[in-house]
Structure 1
Amino acid sequence: MKYNFTESACRKDTNAEKYTLRESLFGTNDVMPVWVADMDIDTPPFVIEAVKKRLEHSIVGYEEFPTTAFKAQIEWMKNEHGIEFELEDMIYSHSVVASMGLVINAFSEEGDKVIVQTPVYPPFFHSVIENNRELLKNPLKQNIDGKYVFDIEDLKSKIDDKTKLLLLCSPHNPVGRVWKREELEEILEICLEHNIVVFSDEIHSDLVYAPNKHIPFASLSQEARGITVTAIGVGKTFNMAGFAMSSVAITNKELKEKFLKSYKRVHFAQGSALSHVAFEAAYSQGKEWLEDLKEHLLNNYTMLLELCEKYSDQIKVTPIEATYLAWLDCRGMGLNNRALRSFFIKEAKLGLNAGLSFGREGDGFMRLNFAVSTTKMLEVIKRLDKALSLKYRK
């Protein structure tokens, strides 16, 4: 079966976050929202069918997370990413961000330092600050070709006895990197030397484009497994964020016990009955759909790349290896951040994420979500092309 992503369902009157918040975020409803990281692409039909079937039973009450669902995820991780987890390693969580907060509380004390590598998804630094930990920024370096890399020497120079945790974004949001094994091994060596726990956010791990390959941090070695808390889930891969369903994998029993102490204080329970069947359907039936999706996303990315090449003096797309989030380098447009945001809202009529929301290193950048139907992507290109042409091709 070949899946078609030419069109997608209308979300304007469905309480979808990216549409409902347009007025408060952008000051107008007259923008096409391409910001928050969910897709304007239909959730897979086999997921919807699994939920419909579950609703044939007239009671939707408390349910335990089914072992079959975790087994489907374990099998997926083994086949897709070459890492093996056991059933006892898996813990339900309703979101990666929630898991991050639990990890911060489990493996550090107030006043301890937590490493984040900016520019990065905003909850990375918000979670640290809101839990009264000290933010230790280890900014990524950008090469002359626009590609981002770790700054290992900077990291080594900043670590001290108060540094307890590193929050790793892998693949990276927003810069789209898929970290290579040798890069991750450098991080591992430092963390092992300083007894630092690694929280590895791998929520985008399935959205990797060939020839790149996602390397789970815990797969690097037995020592890596011993210091890693891995966060994974279906939300990004299968456009299922509304099911509020993800998981945490911890193989080290001591780490798991510490995590569970923090976890039990929150009382997560086991999620919803509908999420359970959706989760299992995605992992057990989703391979073909995902391959077709990635082909579609690359086509959208290519459209955006070709457009930006027309205005290469003004705007560039950071080379992407994973995710559906384009990190646009707009520094050539000669606008300050407020004017840049205004250009996209008022002239292009597009609602993007401002680069500064990912840290100071996002100065002059914008993030654009290109996980939309072909029809919507053509409209994104049309609007941006018109705005850039009027401003720079007079």
Structure 2
Amino acid sequence: MKYTFQTSTCRENTNAEKYVLREKLFGTNEVMPLWVADMDIDTPDFVLDAVRKRLEHQIVGYEELPQSAFLAQIEWMKKEHGVEFALEEMLYSHSVVASMNVAIEAFTEKGDKVIVQTPVYPPFFHSVIEHERELLKNPLKLRDDGTYTFDIEDLKSKINEKTKLLLLCSPHNPVGRVWRREELEQILELCVKHNIVVFSDEIHSDLVYAPNVHIPFASLSADARDITVTAIGIGKSFNMAGFAISSVAIQNKILRENFLKVYNRTHFANGSTLSHVAFEAAYRDGKEWLEELKIHLYKNFYMLDELCKKYPHYIKLTPIEGTYLAWLDCRGLGFGDRELRDFFIHKAGLGLSAGISFGREGSGFMRLNFAISSDKMLEVIKKLDEALLLKCRQ
């Protein structure tokens, strides 16, 4: 293996969000930050080398996003995920959340209903509320084996003529599901029937563990292509969130024109010169690095799973199919949500995302970002093991 991921560059004393916000979020800097979804793993060398080469030119000014960058992404999506986008269907965005907000404004009016499937990444429901749209919650069903699926009957019972948009998280953050074709087709059938646009957040699509396969929502059928806005990018896959670049693919011309009315009014422009270079390098040269990264990530997850199996009466680890975000069922600890958060901060020295922040269905759960080096993962396991052992002895 060319990449080992055993160690990573120290991010202390930098402006890294996950570190500088520890005092604000956890009341102390003495926690390992495992909350926000970026990696404590070095950004790939081929990306940084491409950026260094661009900096040999003495001017970094306004630049158009080159067609070659989008073409590299289009080729990647075709090879890796079996979906074909055309160049004219692609738009630059600095983030998936920004794209989501444009979609909410473009495809709904104040008072319209927008579907979210909780527990889910908090900007899904925050964005809806901030735009004065009505939040239609369609909670995922928690099955006996600890996995989740869509609750189609609940969704059918709640849709009406005011329901205009569904925000789909695929693969799902935080529960780690990679949706099966038959599950997505159930969603598609309802959305086509009721003329509902689907905003499909597929930012984690490259982080899927075999034998699971990511199926882009737009690839399901011609009907799916006509109602889907697909958000994709390199931020999660290659640990490049700091480059602030992603993309939106909209194959239906009318949807694209409506999206562009809001998009252009917001003035997204073309992003930064260095982001363009990094984006293209990741899609052009990233296959080997990504495959080795996924092996490493799953090893980290396996370590966490083995630890949780030592304390099954306290913590159950939700099976994972995609993402690098572990969803911990901590209800066995018998804590309220505030106590649970305090346990991880003060007993384990770990700064996690509280499950309740993903919706009330996340009560009693915690989300742990395991996209860290092997050395750091061993430290996490040690800290959590000691805290749980102490709990056992009390």
Match of 1:170 in 2: 170
Following the alignment from structure 1 to structure 2, what is the Cα–Cα distance between the partners of residues 132 and 84? 35
SS in 2 for 1:46: helix
TM-aligned CA deviation for residue 304 of structure 1: 0.2
- Indicate the RMSD between aligned Cα atoms, in angstroms: 0.5
SS in 1 for 2:303: helix
Following the alignment from structure 1 to structure 2, what is the Cα–Cα distance between the partners of residues 14 and 219? 41
> How many percent of aligned residue pairs carry the same amino acid?
76
Following the alignment from structure 2 to structure 1, what is the Cα–Cα distance between the partners of residues 122 and 151? 20
TM-aligned CA deviation for residue 14 of structure 1: 1.1
TM-aligned CA deviation for residue 392 of structure 1: 1.1
Following the alignment from structure 2 to structure 1, what is the Cα–Cα distance between the partners of residues 15 and 91? 30
SS in 1 for 2:215: coil
The answer to whether the aligner puts 1:222 opposite 2:225 as a matched pair is: no
Following the alignment from structure 2 to structure 1, what is the Cα–Cα distance between the partners of residues 278 and 21? 26
Match of 1:185 in 2: 185
Matches within 5 A, 1:1-394: 2-393=2-393
Following the alignment from structure 1 to structure 2, what is the Cα–Cα distance between the partners of residues 177 and 245? 25
Following the alignment from structure 1 to structure 2, what is the Cα–Cα distance between the partners of residues 107 and 391? 50
Following the alignment from structure 1 to structure 2, what is the Cα–Cα distance between the partners of residues 13 and 342? 25
Following the alignment from structure 1 to structure 2, what is the Cα–Cα distance between the partners of residues 34 and 162? 39
Number of aligned residue pairs? 394
Following the alignment from structure 1 to structure 2, what is the Cα–Cα distance between the partners of residues 278 and 114? 34
| Matched residue type, 1:230 | T
Residues 60-114 of structure 1, C-alpha deviation per residue, up to 9 Å, x if partnerless?
0000000000000000000000000000010000000000000000000000000
Following the alignment from structure 1 to structure 2, what is the Cα–Cα distance between the partners of residues 358 and 319? 18
TM-aligned CA deviation for residue 2 of structure 1: 1.6
Following the alignment from structure 2 to structure 1, what is the Cα–Cα distance between the partners of residues 392 and 218? 48
TM-aligned CA deviation for residue 237 of structure 1: 0.1
TM-aligned CA deviation for residue 357 of structure 1: 0.3
Residues 155-205 of structure 1, C-alpha deviation per residue, up to 9 Å, x if partnerless?
000000000000000000000000000000000000000000000000000
Following the alignment from structure 1 to structure 2, what is the Cα–Cα distance between the partners of residues 76 and 2? 21
SS in 1 for 2:231: strand
Following the alignment from structure 1 to structure 2, what is the Cα–Cα distance between the partners of residues 144 and 165? 30
Following the alignment from structure 1 to structure 2, what is the Cα–Cα distance between the partners of residues 108 and 327? 32
TM-aligned CA deviation for residue 4 of structure 1: 1.7
TM-aligned CA deviation for residue 393 of structure 1: 3.9
Following the alignment from structure 2 to structure 1, what is the Cα–Cα distance between the partners of residues 271 and 380? 36
SS in 1 for 2:109: coil
SS in 2 for 1:164: strand
Following the alignment from structure 1 to structure 2, what is the Cα–Cα distance between the partners of residues 181 and 391? 42
Following the alignment from structure 1 to structure 2, what is the Cα–Cα distance between the partners of residues 88 and 31? 46
| Matched residue type, 2:389 | S
| Matched residue type, 1:389 | L
TM-aligned CA deviation for residue 244 of structure 1: 0.2
TM-aligned CA deviation for residue 30 of structure 1: 0.4
SS in 1 for 2:91: strand
Following the alignment from structure 1 to structure 2, what is the Cα–Cα distance between the partners of residues 301 and 164? 38
Residues 212-269 of structure 1, C-alpha deviation per residue, up to 9 Å, x if partnerless?
0000000000110000000000000000000000000000000000000010111011
Following the alignment from structure 2 to structure 1, what is the Cα–Cα distance between the partners of residues 58 and 3? 32
| Matched residue type, 1:357 | S
Unaligned runs of 5+ in 1: none
Following the alignment from structure 1 to structure 2, what is the Cα–Cα distance between the partners of residues 340 and 253? 48
Following the alignment from structure 1 to structure 2, what is the Cα–Cα distance between the partners of residues 281 and 41? 18
Following the alignment from structure 1 to structure 2, what is the Cα–Cα distance between the partners of residues 61 and 264? 21
